[in-house]
A = this chain, B = another copy of it.
Amino acid sequence: MSRVLNGDAPVNARTREAVEAAMATLHYVPSSAARSMRSNKTGLIGMITGAISASPNQDEPVGLPEIFLVQGVQRALADAGLTLLIADTGGHSEKVGELAHTLLRHRVEGLIYVADYHREVQLPAALRGTPVVLTNCFDSVGTPAVLPDDEGGQDALVQRIVAAGHRRIGFLTLPDRQAARPLRLLGYQHALAAAGVAYDPDLVLTGAIVDPVHEYDFLWDALDRLLRASPTAICCANDKMALRVCALLRQRGLRVPEDISVAGYDDYRIITEHMDPPLTSIELPYAAMGMRAAEKLLRLINGAGKANEDARELVSGPVVWRNSVKTIQQVVTPFKTRRNDIS
């Protein structure tokens, strides 16, 4: 009887006991299908992801961001008593429409759309009318989105490296066309400007291309050119690149961080913590983004703060300082400066 389950009407104690006993012996489990048909509330939130690539040659850590996103989303949804229905494209983006349809058939109350890296996407038209929050991506029609703060992140990292005494900071960027690339570059430039360091274009080079075959050679050439600009530190577009750069530097007889400092991006801890030396990086806060996305979606569904929920939301992660960046003995300290003046 629904009355004893939901407690929405007074029930005699003896009756309640009898009903509960019957439910126990029959291993009764209420059907959410029947409940949702009547109440029009399924308690389901859908998630469409293309993050898991089906490409067998893919050596990127794709999927890992997503797992933390899922974790964050799940945590926020569990608090609200909702269940997550995950539909994965398996790398085939043309399946998105079909997957969306499946989720709609299950009457999800809202939907979180996740991309494998920061980029622009286009939602299928079928999702009109369903609350959607984009995560790690954005579209051209202003769908609410949760994004990593690439500009602020790179800014914070470079500021910290500047604070460690570095002035000539190389920057090996993401491949062309990646949405994060210009944002990171802005952050890099802003950090330098804030410290009064002149921007030197020779210190900024594209460090990766999408083509996995020539990836190695490309990075080798980029590093080669970068070293001619004699940086004391190198910012890499991600931890994987940093791992390779360290190996390449070692092959040239350069020690990290004694001869040159290296920093990554993402704080992919399996790399950063176990490298030798451990890698300075900045966290890409996927779990936090997942939580923020879920919370945003819940606000959308509940109709609260409609006006504000159209905005894109940026999420920042902390700089994680490790030994791969050396703190430079400042050549010009206030004290020394004075002595120099005297002499």
- Taking CB atoms and an 8 Å cut-off, the chain A residues in 47-88 that contact chain B are 52, 54, 59, 61, 63-64, 66-68, 70-71, 74-75, 78, 83-88
- Pick from A90, A101, A274 the residue with the most CB of B within 10 Å: A274
Count contacts on A: residues with CB < 8 A to the other chain. Answer: 55
Q: Are the CB atoms of B105 and A30 closer together than 8 Å?
A: yes
What is the CB-to-nearest-CB distance from A248 to chain B, in angstroms, rounded to a whole number?
8
Protomer copies? 2
* Interface residue stretch chosen among A32-40, A172-180, A220-228, A295-303: A32-40
A19 within 8 A of B: no
Q: Are the CB atoms of B75 and A54 closer together than 8 Å?
A: yes
Q: Are the CB atoms of A33 and B27 closer together than 8 Å?
A: no
A269 within 8 A of B: yes
What is the CB-to-nearest-CB distance from A253 to chain B, in angstroms, rounded to a whole number?
14
Residues in B whose Cβ lies below 8 Å from that of A37:
31, 33-34, 37
What is the CA–CA distance of A271 and B64 in the complex, to the nearest angstrom? 13
Residues in B whose Cβ lies below 8 Å from that of A101:
29
Q: Which of B33, B240, B244, B251 is the one whose CB lies under 8 Å from A107?
A: B33
Question: Assuming the A-B contacts A29-B105, A37-B34, A105-B31, are A74 and B61 also in contact, with contact meaning beta carbons closer than 8 angstroms in the complex?
Answer: no
What is the CB-to-nearest-CB distance from A166 to chain B, in angstroms, rounded to a whole number?
24
Q: Which 4 A-B pairs have the closest CB atoms?
A: A247-B276, A63-B67, A33-B33, A32-B105
Q: Are the CB atoms of B107 and A32 closer together than 8 Å?
A: yes
Q: Are the CB atoms of B88 and A86 closer together than 8 Å?
A: no
Q: Are the CB atoms of B268 and A270 closer together than 8 Å?
A: yes
Given contacts A29-B101, A270-B270, A271-B271, 19 further A-B contacts (CB under 8 A): A27-B128, A33-B107, A52-B70, A54-B71, A54-B75, A63-B68, A63-B71, A64-B64, A64-B67, A70-B88, A71-B88, A83-B85, A83-B87, A83-B106, A84-B86, A240-B270, A250-B276, A268-B270, A271-B274
A104 within 8 A of B: yes
A120 within 8 A of B: no
Residues in B whose Cβ lies below 8 Å from that of A59:
269-270, 273
A129 within 8 A of B: yes
Name the CB-closest residue of B to A60.
Answer: B270
Q: Are the CB atoms of B33 and A52 closer together than 8 Å?
A: no
A residues contacting B by CB (< 8 A) are 27, 29-34, 36-37, 42, 52, 54, 59, 61, 63-64, 66-68, 70-71, 74-75, 78, 83-88, 90, 101-102, 104-107, 126, 128-129, 240, 243-244, 246-247, 250-251, 268-271, 273-276
Name the CB-closest residue of B to A47.
Answer: B86
What is the CA–CA distance of A90 and B88 in the complex, to the nearest angstrom? 20
Q: Are the CB atoms of A274 and B71 closer together than 8 Å?
A: no
Residues in B whose Cβ lies below 8 Å from that of A106:
32-33, 83
What is the CA–CA distance of A66 and B101 in the complex, to the nearest angstrom? 26
Name the CB-closest residue of B to A71.
Answer: B52
What is the CA–CA distance of A70 and B32 in the complex, to the nearest angstrom? 24
Residues in B whose Cβ lies below 8 Å from that of A86:
70, 74, 84-86
What is the CA–CA distance of A32 and B64 in the complex, to the nearest angstrom? 31
What is the CB-to-nearest-CB distance from A286 to chain B, in angstroms, rounded to a whole number?
10
Residues in B whose Cβ lies below 8 Å from that of A54:
71, 75
What is the CB-to-nearest-CB distance from A33 to chain B, in angstroms, rounded to a whole number?
4
